[in-house]
Chain A
Amino acid sequence: MSLNRRELLGGAAALSTAAMLPSASMAADTIQLGSILDTSGIFDAYGKPMDQAMRLAVKEINDAGGLLGKQVEVAAYDTQSDMALYSQYAQQLTRQDKVDVVHGGILSASREAIRQTMRKTKTLYFYNVQYEGGVCDRNIFVTGVTPAQQVEVLVPYAMKKSGPKVHILAADYNYGQITARWIQKFVEDNGGEVVATDFFPLDVADFGSTITKIQQTAPDLVFAPLVGGAHLSFFRQWSAAGMKDKVPLASTTMGVGNEHKVLTPEEGNGIMVAYNYSQELETPANIAFKAKWQAEYGDTTAIHELAVSTYQGIMLWAAGVRKAGSVERDAVVDALETGISIEGPAGKVTIDPQTHHATVDVHIMEFEGQGMTVIETLPQRAPIDTQAVCDLQANPGDNTQYEIEI
């Protein structure tokens, strides 16, 4: 095809007008929700259901008439499991799309990559993921559980079922290190003893010598906050060595990405965990949520903790906007700081004004037949780890991720 200068200019002008039109009309009468998630690449097992949950929540809000009489529009970016893309898309969302709120980020590294951009541009940010705790920033709200919320309830339960001697196996990065410290603290608080702690880089897949070592320390309980596909090998090798029926296992990470559906029932049964959400929760809210998901996507097997956190995060934000009567950042933050709460699929979620983290129900569960059976529900556990270091009411200018010393 040949093109002369006049045609080219005419075409370009038409194209750019077409591109400008919808954005101009959009800004006026809709609310913009930015989403930034890894929906491809190695973290897509986490990111895809989160993206589905985000769209489900927005659809639900819009079907009910929108927010403040306006429809919510989604501007979603796929960061392809690449940390460099987070900062790029964060700039795009805040400076070009000028969205009213951003939900997203999966790994702690991705959150830290975009948190300052959100703060500088005064864009409200929601991080809806279970993480190591300690972020103290008035511009961010965190709706996932932190280690203390899980460990505080899981340790006494697991020790009661097994005994006082605990061996810890943790992933060797900030999440594992911090979680291991919390486990140690709660084991000692409950009159137990940590006989050994081992850390493993994320690519270690051979646990043979570790399993022998565990038998030397002869613990009553093994606590395993291990992360990722390679570490899944531990649970498999543990069962293959015939240790599963001798020493009970507990974990704060196993099952977040539905890993328990990969292990056979023989390998998984009996592992003790504590989370905010389980597909097996028999509450009316969860049954209704699963029915909505089923109607939208046809299959509920992908729903996991992080997806539900995302859904709850968006519902909390919507509640904040309704209460504030505005999408303006400071108004919404003030509204959320009144200790607002919603009823989500995983139970009641309340914003803790002091830390901007969430007070949630924590369920103690055991794996059974590739599902998580709820043993005990502990209502409304506060994020005590972050509370120990962060007080945004007294110090609203804070902008740190604290390493929590115990």
Chain B
Amino acid sequence: MDLSFVILVEVLYGVASLVLISAGLAVVFGMMKVINLAHGEFMMMGGYATITAVGLGVNVFVAMLVIAPLVVGLIGLIVERLVIRHLYGRLVDTMLATWGLSLVFIGLATMIFGNTTTGISTPIPGFAVGGYQVNGYNFFIIIVTIVLVIAMFAVLRGTRAGLIARGTMQRSDMAAALGYSPDRIYMMTFFCGSALSGLAGAVLAPLVGLVPTSGGAYIAKAFITVIAGGPSLIAGLVSSATSFGLVSQFFTFAISPVIGEVALLIAAVVLLRTMPQGITGRFFKGKL
């Protein structure tokens, strides 16, 4: 009984961390069609922003949930103005440009923070469930993810800004004809996407040892999740993260963490072979 609860928590945590890692990319790549190969580096910068802020005496939750998304969002804004806005609609060119950006960010982070591992400890203590110890921070990540998904849904579905953003992504010429500036809407959307990446990096920072090249560990999983999710932003994100999270955690517990990772990749190949348009290309069609 205790064990099944602990495993349930681990599985939920596996799904939640996939959603968290991929949310920023879902906005930037899924909505805006910008192949952001610097996504992992945005997360890495979120982690460093958190650690720096905590080092300056800021409360760790404020640093993770407010400062890191803002800092990375602003960096995203600058990047969008300087580079990305010239490349909208040129899929392959964005790939090259953001790959270059990722190298620049790794270099800058190395210059500023040094090429050594840094980190902060988790702010939430573990607790016992029967005979087992559970990492209390896992619950925090699960809760942050649930709130994040609900908030994304509410903004995109319920607010005028969300409606305009979605409309602009589908037909920017129509949005322009109706008097909205696609340029500014793209800018704001990219800001939100970057901020989400920063948030993910910040929230995961206490669990890992951070180095300037940490971003590389996330990028593949993020792209797999977003691509397998398909055209619907939130339904795709949640459904593919759930399938991959279940598969990888099942094999992790049954065999080993390495096999868990392998299973995730095999599942992605099978899924994309059977559903080339992604999960939401077949199920939940037309959902958000």
Chain A residues at the B interface, C-beta cutoff of 8 Å: 41-42, 44-45, 172, 198-201, 203-213, 215-216, 229-233, 236-237, 239-243, 246, 257, 259, 262-264, 266-267
Task: Decide if B253 touches A240 in the complex (CB within 8 Å).
Answer: no
Interface of B, helix, strand, loop or mixed by DSSP: mixed
Which one of B121, B124, B137, B252 has the greatest number of beta carbons of chain A within 10 Å? B121
Query: Cβ of B158 < 8 Å from any Cβ of A?
Result: no
Assembly CA distance A44 to B211 (angstroms): 12
Mask of B184-223 contacts with A, CB within 8 angstroms, 1/0:
0000000000000000000000111111011011000000
Query: Cβ of B286 < 8 Å from any Cβ of A?
Result: no
Q: Using Cβ atoms and an 8 Å threshold, which residues of chain A touch B6? A: 212, 215
Q: Other than the known A236-B122, A242-B135, what 16 A-B pairs have Cβ atoms closer than 8 Å?
A: A41-B115, A200-B257, A200-B258, A205-B217, A206-B207, A208-B13, A208-B135, A209-B260, A215-B6, A236-B207, A237-B122, A240-B121, A240-B137, A241-B134, A241-B135, A262-B116
Among the 9-residue stretches B61-69, B125-133, B227-235, B277-285, the one with 4 or more Cβ atoms under 8 Å from chain A is: B125-133
Q: Using Cβ atoms and an 8 Å threshold, which residues of chain B touch A230? A: 208-209, 214, 217
Q: Using Cβ atoms and an 8 Å threshold, which residues of chain B touch A232? A: 117, 119, 208-209
Known: A230-B209, A236-B208. A266 touches B115 (CB 8 A): no
Q: Using Cβ atoms and an 8 Å threshold, which residues of chain A touch B243? A: none
Task: Decide if A215 touches B133 in the complex (CB within 8 Å).
Answer: yes
Assembly CA distance A242 to B3 (angstroms): 16
Q: Using Cβ atoms and an 8 Å threshold, which residues of chain A touch B17? A: 206
Interface size for B (C-beta < 8 A) is: 46
Q: Using Cβ atoms and an 8 Å threshold, which residues of chain B touch A239? A: 121-122
A-B contact pairs, 22 of them (CB 8 A): A41-B115, A44-B115, A198-B256, A201-B261, A203-B217, A205-B209, A205-B217, A208-B135, A209-B249, A212-B132, A230-B214, A230-B217, A233-B208, A236-B121, A237-B135, A240-B121, A240-B122, A262-B116, A262-B117, A262-B118, A262-B209, A266-B121
Q: Using Cβ atoms and an 8 Å threshold, which residues of chain A touch B116? A: 45, 257, 262
Task: Decide if B121 touches A209 in the complex (CB within 8 Å).
Answer: no
Q: Using Cβ atoms and an 8 Å threshold, which residues of chain A touch B253? A: 209, 212-213
Known: A236-B206, A262-B116, A262-B209. A229 touches B214 (CB 8 A): yes
Which one of B10, B249, B257 has the greatest number of beta carbons of chain A within 10 Å? B257
Q: Using Cβ atoms and an 8 Å threshold, which residues of chain A touch B216? A: 203
Query: Cβ of B36 < 8 Å from any Cβ of A?
Result: no
Assembly CA distance A203 to B131 (angstroms): 30
Query: Cβ of B136 < 8 Å from any Cβ of A?
Result: yes
Assembly CA distance A172 to B260 (angstroms): 15
Known: A208-B13, A209-B257. A262 touches B121 (CB 8 A): no
With both beta carbons as reference points, the residue of chain B lying nearest to A265 in the complex is identified as B121
Q: Using Cβ atoms and an 8 Å threshold, which residues of chain A touch B14? A: 208-209
